[in-house]
Structure 1
Amino acid sequence: MKRLLTRSGCWLLMLLLVFQLAAVPAWAQNAATAAEPLTANIEQFLAELNKDPNSIGLHTGIKVYDLTEKKVLYEHNADRTYVPASNMKVFTTVAGLDRLGPEYQWKTEVYVTGKATPGGVLNGDLVLKGFGDPSLSVADLQSIAEGLKEKGIRQINGSLLVDDSYFDDMRLGYGWMWDDEPYGYSAQLSALAVHKNMVTVTVQPGKKAGEKPVLTLDPATDYLQVLNQVQTVAGKESKVAVERPRGTNTIIFSGTIGVEASSYEEDVSLEDPALYVGDVWKQRLSAAGIKLHPQVKVSKTSVTDGVPFYTHLSKPLSEIMIELNKDSDNFYAEMLLKTLGAENGKGSAEAGSEVVKEVLKRAGVESDYAQMDGSGLSRFDWITASQMVGLLSFVQNQEYKEVFEQSLPIAGVDGTLKNRLKGTIAEKQVFAKTGSMGGVNSLSGYVTAKNGNKLAFSILINGIYKSKYARDLQDKVAILLASYPDIQTPDGYQSPKQQTYKLSALLDPIVDEANASGLTAGILVKAVEQKNSDPAGAVWYEHEADTLLTPASNLKLLTTATALTQLGSDYQYKTEMYGSAAIPANGVFQGDLYLKGYGDPTLHTEDKLKVQDGVSVESIAKWLKEQGVKRINGNLILDEGYFDQERLGLGWAWDDESYYYNPLLGALALNRGTVMIEFEPASRVGEKVPINLLPKTKYVTVINEAKTVGADQPNTFAIERDRGTNTIRVSGNLPVGTAADYERVPVENPALYVGTVLRETLEREGITFAGNSTVSIGIVPSQAVKWTEFTSRPLAEIVTYLNKRSDNFYAEMLLKTLGAVKKNEGSASAGAEVVAETLGPLGIETNFDMIDGSGLTRYNLISARHIAGVLEAMTASSVFTEYFDSLPIAGVDGTLTSRMKETAAANNARAKTGTLTGVSSLSGYVETKDGQKLVFSIMINGYKPKGAGFMTGLQDRIVEALAEYEE
């Protein structure tokens, strides 16, 4: 799929991450003798964090530079990359000031088509064109409308057109999480925007319990449909939830609000914001006394030229910058980044990032970082503390120095630092940008030291299990810097010594390559059967083994281990069929047919989508035919109530939704939640690309606009699904000579997909339905008659396919099954609870974050020690053989087919791979040359251009070295 190639070709080179801090940290070398007390204090802080199970996994990059004396005071992992969160805004805002200047103003223009009569009647259209003003307000639109009236416009007989073509149509940032979308901080982006492209909804409790709460919208608009499902209850407590289904402008408020509670307020985002602006604009024109045609239409256009009829200018960038940085406003930052690109020729985040890159290059900051958005909301942004301090130092020599500094929050005074460092020496002395999201916390800026020197600093922290510890570390460092140089070495402080292990000499050189490349490697190697009674002797090697990292598909090791342990290797999924009455003797069923799912991940159609034996739609149809059923005069109802309605894993990226590895989930699902589109070039240039849809179903609509082009033309072929729909678009050019291929594309509403295909299959088998019969979602009623049940292959076989192929859909269905079976709640969170409850008694610490079953979300945080602990514990399990056999074999099968061939690890090591952009993991079992069995876990995170092969290469070399080792 071309879009996937673009992602891994263009943007992949800009990403990959690294986390660091270990059970045995690599302490920073002193930058200067005068800084020794500072170093000792910070190192002691880090050592204390490393003793607490709630903070042991966090890892940090720190750098402190004395701007007055021009010297480094302290650094720790300063050249390793970290997800910066809102510290990314520093890069964006400095570039904005540098390229646009503090006095830059955004414009919003009004154009007219046709001419106005002397009486002020415009017999034409009114066009509102945006140029990316992030601060445009309802009041501004009112002012523009009144300005038009002052210029003589009294009535508009044409349409209201809105033009947002100054920016591209990418509405969300790269890699933003779908579950953030309903909220204002993740608002969609457009060159024409108002009220930050969100609506502020206020929920006011009813006057008494049971009374419906009152919802109000600011600005008031009919552009959104708001469903009020909130209930007023007794007391002061409120539990209000908001949902906006993907791709829609329907907002659902649910939950409860106490009759004595304060009103609840939420900023809610919306789809296609330019049309929202048009709706608000229409109201403001009417409010200004300008008459509109009763059937006036609001629509989009991208054709505006000539001289604008009216121009509105925003406040200068210097003022907007204050709100951007002090309040850490994501929308302002994203609009600024796209403006940088637009001013340079293209209003995209990519183009804006190129401008930032040019500014940073001038600042002497190396390009080994990744900027995917302007705000830091994307977890594909990676920077280093050294880069941040380098940029902060650069600013000191620029004319806009004071403007930038004035935009930063001040400790204990304002912005996002208003409530921090109060009553300490750092109050009012630290002005810095914060950054915070799950697992990430950053603080970078300036501090005035006690001796009057000005210091630039950056503290980037990832792998955070409990956020309090990260903030505490930042505050302690900030206080030290404000006290500098009046700092004493802690009593009894001793610089920690690096511990050595049996394999240190063998593996340290390989790990050093990772460190030198800016990567973080969490590694643990342990003997399954140690030769002495000392448990410590079983650890042959470890490096940062407690650091919490993103595991990717290594998380499947936990999911499958727990499933085999809790459900048993012989567990079989069932799919039940019911009727509203017994099977008819005459073949004509006068009632409804029900199909109830219990999470079988193997349900399939008998075509190329089949990957395992088990229950097929065709076998269900065959069974009904064998029972003599010839006609169904009722409805086909699908029951998916065994699982919750969360279709996607929390933290999955919105821009992955067209790809097979990002399937939608449900207790009744087919073909791993996907359809298949086969394609190949036509025989002649200019002809449409032939495609073939599997299964043959009307459940999806395929729009094919792809063309065959000459062999020397670029391949722009793409397959994408419109968000929230089952419309699949095939577009672009496919060169002659391109090999035939296929893509699997996820579909919405998995149960309806099953039902539609089942009905189509039954009809092909000669079983007809009444003309008014429907396929719908429902619940099997208690009085229904169970006709039969279909069972899957045993769990051991399912787990083997899951681990060998690293199938995300299987893993997610398995996790929800654990929740449903053990907790009576078919959710990922319930399944994760079962995992934790299974591992705890095995002696494995559960101070990690498991959010999904597959490892696709970057919310997951786990250490090499955790994963190795699971592998070790499973060796004593009654289902170890099934678990062991499920893992890919080096050089032989699964995701290790092509790795470690013709080495001592081939046909020896059995391990689970894990790969995301910036993440590579390998954990499993290997036997040494002299027959000793080892468990190992190697997790590598980090930004390195073209780094995927480098990371897997490091892993292979480590495993090969283990296989070749003998005592």
Structure 2
Amino acid sequence: MCRRLSKLLLFLACLLPVTAQASGFTQLGRLADKGFLISAEARLIDEGTVLGAIEADRQLSPASVTKSYLAAAALDRWGPQHRFTTRLLAESRPDGDGVLSGDLILDGGGDPALTTEDLWRLVQRLHQAGVREVEGRLLVSQWRFGPVECITTDRCQARDRTANAYSALLSSAGVNYGSWCVSVAPGAASGQPARVTGCDSQAAILEIDNRVETRPDNSGTELRAERITRNGHDVMVLSGQISTNARPRDIYRGSSDPADQMARTLLAMLDQAGIAVRGGVETTLAEPPAGARSLAEVEGKPLQELLLRVMNYSNNFMADILALNLVETPRADLRLGGAAIEAFVAGIPDHGPVTLLSGSGLTTENRTSARGANALLESMFHRPSLFPSFVATLQSPGNGVMRFIRRGSPTFQHHVMLKTGTLNQPVAVRAVSGYFRTRSGRWGVFTALVNGTGSTPYLSWSEVLDPLSVDLERMIDNH
């Protein structure tokens, strides 16, 4: 009788809903009752023991957890100390008077973190090389990739206007993460327009439509900014108010053409350095001539430092630029960048299917599973030459730069390292993936992908992180 009863109970257990089967994820699993789709798994690395799972093979959107795949593929391809190089080239050398005949060519090297500080060092080195005047043009070459086709709504809209910086368009000759920066300071007195300048040059590089009014002390600062494209040129439209005693505020908005932004910024810096360009400035898709030689060059930061920014701040521009760099042929696009990451994933044992159309996760068609994401994490754990750089890109909830992850108990805050992913359209996505250390010091991996549907339009981070922290705390304490 007892034996028959045991078999009956086992049979009935197989018929239970997902939430009842969510061993180890009893709290997180309750989101399934609200209509959310979940793929979750946690397991110990040393034995492969699964501590909890909900539909671990289900393919869902990982949002910015995609960047973990990008980071692993980049480290695998180049190693932690790789640097991208930006060069100024010419087919001639300056004469005794410092005059360079022909064109000066900026060879966009695809550095995802190239800034005006780097450009200034590049210009200084050109000055050290003796150049004082360029008879020809300043040519900005984005032959490696750019302008890159937009395949997400935000980036396509940014060709005409944008009110953010995260949707910046892409080019191998981009600077300042593909975004313009303006500084807004109060005017001399209340009632006067605010003083607005570019962040990178005393000379005006970007056209500014300033509608910001200065108000009396302590009256509050409220600024609105939108970059629009007007008659083929970028314009920063600013409105609102700023107090007379307020500090200057820097505002970033994506440019409509990163290579053109580079061209205008570099031209202004050459002018400040006393290097005149007589032939004007242009962007080009052509590769520099075979006979062109380097006059000045600047190396970017090591890859391991780039990945800290990509992952900690979930920088979409940097992630997609790195993915485009993974493509070995010129004229790369995001689909090819995603395919390069997929090719890397194909070598990970037991990963299973994956679909990646970008390195950032902005593409809503990206798909993976909790089991697949954990296979990625485990594969990096077993690569001692790469793992320190990889795990350093993840945040601890207790002291990470993103404050919304500072939730849960001290156990969760200090025994977990993670990457998050967020999308709100066309459905809500909240994704978390990373490592944990148990009380006995054992390493584990976990991934929780939560996707909404048409009937579940909103999902807060607290609805995911709070139950997940309880579930992971139990696993950590029990092992």
Same fold by TM-score, threshold 0.5 exceeded? Answer: yes
Q: Which moved more, 1:847-856 or 1:693-702?
A: 693-702
Please name the residue that 2:288 is paired with: 780
Instruction: Find out whether 1:632 has 2:134 as its counterpart.
Output: yes
Partner-residue secondary structure (3-state), 1:662: coil
Please name the residue that 1:319 is paired with: none
The within-5 A match list for 1:451-490 is none
Q: What is the alpha-carbon distance in structure 2 between the residues aligned to residue 938 and residue 737 of structure 1? A: 46
The within-5 A match list for 1:215-254 is none
Instruction: Find out whether 1:966 has 2:478 as its counterpart.
Output: yes
Q: Give the CA deviation at 1:915.
A: 1.9
Q: What is the alpha-carbon distance in structure 2 between the residues aligned to residue 735 and residue 698 of structure 1? A: 24
Ranges in structure 1 where 5+ consecutive residues have no aligned partner: 1-492, 607-615
Please name the residue that 1:345 is paired with: none
Instruction: Find out whether 1:523 has 2:29 as its counterpart.
Output: no
The within-5 A match list for 1:864-943 is 864-877=370-383, 878-895=385-402, 899-900=406-407, 903-917=410-424, 918-942=428-452, 943=456
Please name the residue that 1:620 is paired with: 122
Please name the residue that 2:83 is paired with: 572
C-alpha offsets along residues 755-775 of structure 1, whole Å, 9 cap, x if unaligned? 2212211211122222x4334
Q: What is the alpha-carbon distance in structure 2 between the residues aligned to residue 930 and residue 642 of structure 1? A: 49
Q: Give the CA deviation at 1:744.
A: 0.9
Partner-residue secondary structure (3-state), 1:622: helix
Corresponding letter in the other structure for 2:366: N
Q: What is the alpha-carbon distance in structure 2 between the residues aligned to residue 702 and residue 904 of structure 1? A: 50
Q: What is the alpha-carbon distance in structure 2 between the residues aligned to residue 834 and residue 671 of structure 1? A: 25
Partner-residue secondary structure (3-state), 1:797: helix
Please name the residue that 1:722 is paired with: 228
- The answer to whether the 8 A contact 1:652-1:857 is kept is no
TM-score (norm 2): 0.85
* Residues 736 and 516 (structure 1), Cα distance of their counterparts in 2 relative to 1, 3 Å cut: farther
Please name the residue that 1:955 is paired with: 468
Partner-residue secondary structure (3-state), 1:905: helix
Partner-residue secondary structure (3-state), 1:837: helix
* Residues 839 and 946 (structure 1), Cα distance of their counterparts in 2 relative to 1, 3 Å cut: closer
Q: What is the alpha-carbon distance in structure 1 between the residues aligned to residue 388 and residue 410 of structure 2? A: 24
C-alpha offsets along residues 566-613 of structure 1, whole Å, 9 cap, x if unaligned? 22222221112211212434311122111101210121113xxxxxxx
Instruction: Find out whether 1:833 has 2:332 as its counterpart.
Output: no
More relative contact order, 1 or 2 (CA 8 Å, 6+ apart) = 2
* Residues 737 and 509 (structure 1), Cα distance of their counterparts in 2 relative to 1, 3 Å cut: farther
Q: What is the alpha-carbon distance in structure 2 between the residues aligned to residue 738 and residue 508 of structure 1? A: 49
Please name the residue that 1:755 is paired with: 263
Q: What is the alpha-carbon distance in structure 1 between the residues aligned to residue 197 and residue 350 of structure 2? A: 49
Q: What is the alpha-carbon distance in structure 1 between the residues aligned to residue 192 and residue 217 of structure 2? A: 14
- The answer to whether the 8 A contact 1:836-1:846 is kept is no
* Residues 668 and 687 (structure 1), Cα distance of their counterparts in 2 relative to 1, 3 Å cut: same
Q: What is the alpha-carbon distance in structure 1 between the residues aligned to residue 355 and residue 474 of structure 2? A: 31
Corresponding letter in the other structure for 2:43: K
* Residues 507 and 735 (structure 1), Cα distance of their counterparts in 2 relative to 1, 3 Å cut: farther
Partner-residue secondary structure (3-state), 1:555: helix
Please name the residue that 1:703 is paired with: 209
Q: What is the alpha-carbon distance in structure 1 between the residues aligned to residue 23 and residue 57 of structure 2? A: 21
Instruction: Find out whether 1:554 has 2:65 as its counterpart.
Output: yes
Q: What is the alpha-carbon distance in structure 1 between the residues aligned to residue 397 and residue 408 of structure 2? A: 7
Please name the residue that 2:103 is paired with: 592
Q: Give the CA deviation at 1:496.
A: 4.1
C-alpha offsets along residues 743-763 of structure 1, whole Å, 9 cap, x if unaligned? 211112212222221221121
Please name the residue that 2:313 is paired with: 805
Q: Give the CA deviation at 1:717.
A: 3.6
Q: What is the alpha-carbon distance in structure 2 between the residues aligned to residue 739 and residue 919 of structure 1? A: 37
Please name the residue that 1:643 is paired with: 145
* Residues 736 and 577 (structure 1), Cα distance of their counterparts in 2 relative to 1, 3 Å cut: closer
Partner-residue secondary structure (3-state), 1:731: strand
Q: What is the alpha-carbon distance in structure 2 between the residues aligned to residue 956 and residue 681 of structure 1? A: 45
Q: What is the alpha-carbon distance in structure 1 between the residues aligned to residue 365 and residue 215 of structure 2? A: 42
Corresponding letter in the other structure for 2:379: A
Q: Give the CA deviation at 1:702.
A: 1.1
Corresponding letter in the other structure for 1:888: Q
* Residues 902 and 693 (structure 1), Cα distance of their counterparts in 2 relative to 1, 3 Å cut: farther
- The answer to whether the 8 A contact 2:395-2:401 is kept is yes
- The answer to whether the 8 A contact 2:138-2:277 is kept is no
Counting aligned pairs with the same residue, the percent is: 22
* Residues 540 and 500 (structure 1), Cα distance of their counterparts in 2 relative to 1, 3 Å cut: farther
- The answer to whether the 8 A contact 1:588-1:631 is kept is yes
Please name the residue that 1:217 is paired with: none
* Residues 736 and 859 (structure 1), Cα distance of their counterparts in 2 relative to 1, 3 Å cut: farther
Please name the residue that 1:665 is paired with: 170
Q: What is the alpha-carbon distance in structure 2 between the residues aligned to residue 602 and residue 920 of structure 1? A: 27
Partner-residue secondary structure (3-state), 1:561: helix
Q: Give the CA deviation at 1:812.
A: 0.6
Q: What is the alpha-carbon distance in structure 1 between the residues aligned to residue 290 and residue 59 of structure 2? A: 47
Q: What is the alpha-carbon distance in structure 2 between the residues aligned to residue 560 and residue 717 of structure 1? A: 35
Instruction: Find out whether 1:511 has 2:29 as its counterpart.
Output: yes
Partner-residue secondary structure (3-state), 2:392: helix
Q: Give the CA deviation at 1:956.
A: 3.4
Partner-residue secondary structure (3-state), 1:706: strand
Please name the residue that 2:54 is paired with: 543
Q: What is the alpha-carbon distance in structure 1 between the residues aligned to residue 245 and residue 467 of structure 2? A: 36
Q: What is the alpha-carbon distance in structure 2 between the residues aligned to residue 636 and residue 590 of structure 1? A: 12
TM-score (norm 1): 0.44
The within-5 A match list for 1:305-454 is none
- The answer to whether the 8 A contact 2:28-2:464 is kept is no
- The answer to whether the 8 A contact 1:633-1:773 is kept is no
Q: What is the alpha-carbon distance in structure 2 between the residues aligned to residue 738 and residue 946 of structure 1? A: 36
Q: Give the CA deviation at 1:894.
A: 3.0
Corresponding letter in the other structure for 1:784: A
Q: Give the CA deviation at 1:900.
A: 3.9
Partner-residue secondary structure (3-state), 2:410: coil
Q: Give the CA deviation at 1:844.
A: 4.3
Q: Give the CA deviation at 1:858.
A: 1.6
Ranges in structure 2 where 5+ consecutive residues have no aligned partner: 1-10
Q: What is the alpha-carbon distance in structure 2 between the residues aligned to residue 517 and residue 541 of structure 1? A: 20
Partner-residue secondary structure (3-state), 2:131: coil
Q: What is the alpha-carbon distance in structure 1 between the residues aligned to residue 126 and residue 355 of structure 2? A: 45
Q: What is the alpha-carbon distance in structure 1 between the residues aligned to residue 264 and residue 165 of structure 2? A: 20
C-alpha offsets along residues 36-70 of structure 1, whole Å, 9 cap, x if unaligned? xxxxxxxxxxxxxxxxxxxxxxxxxxxxxxxxxxx
* Residues 946 and 919 (structure 1), Cα distance of their counterparts in 2 relative to 1, 3 Å cut: closer
Partner-residue secondary structure (3-state), 1:722: strand
Q: What is the alpha-carbon distance in structure 1 between the residues aligned to residue 105 and residue 23 of structure 2? A: 64
Please name the residue that 1:687 is paired with: 192
The within-5 A match list for 1:22-37 is none
Q: Tell me the number of residue pairs that the alignment of Structure 1 and Structure 2 aligns.
A: 455
Q: What is the alpha-carbon distance in structure 2 between the residues aligned to residue 634 and residue 949 of structure 1? A: 58
- The answer to whether the 8 A contact 1:521-1:938 is kept is yes
* Residues 649 and 896 (structure 1), Cα distance of their counterparts in 2 relative to 1, 3 Å cut: farther
- CA RMSD, 1 decimal: 3.1
Q: What is the alpha-carbon distance in structure 2 between the residues aligned to residue 892 and residue 567 of structure 1? A: 29
- The answer to whether the 8 A contact 2:110-2:325 is kept is yes
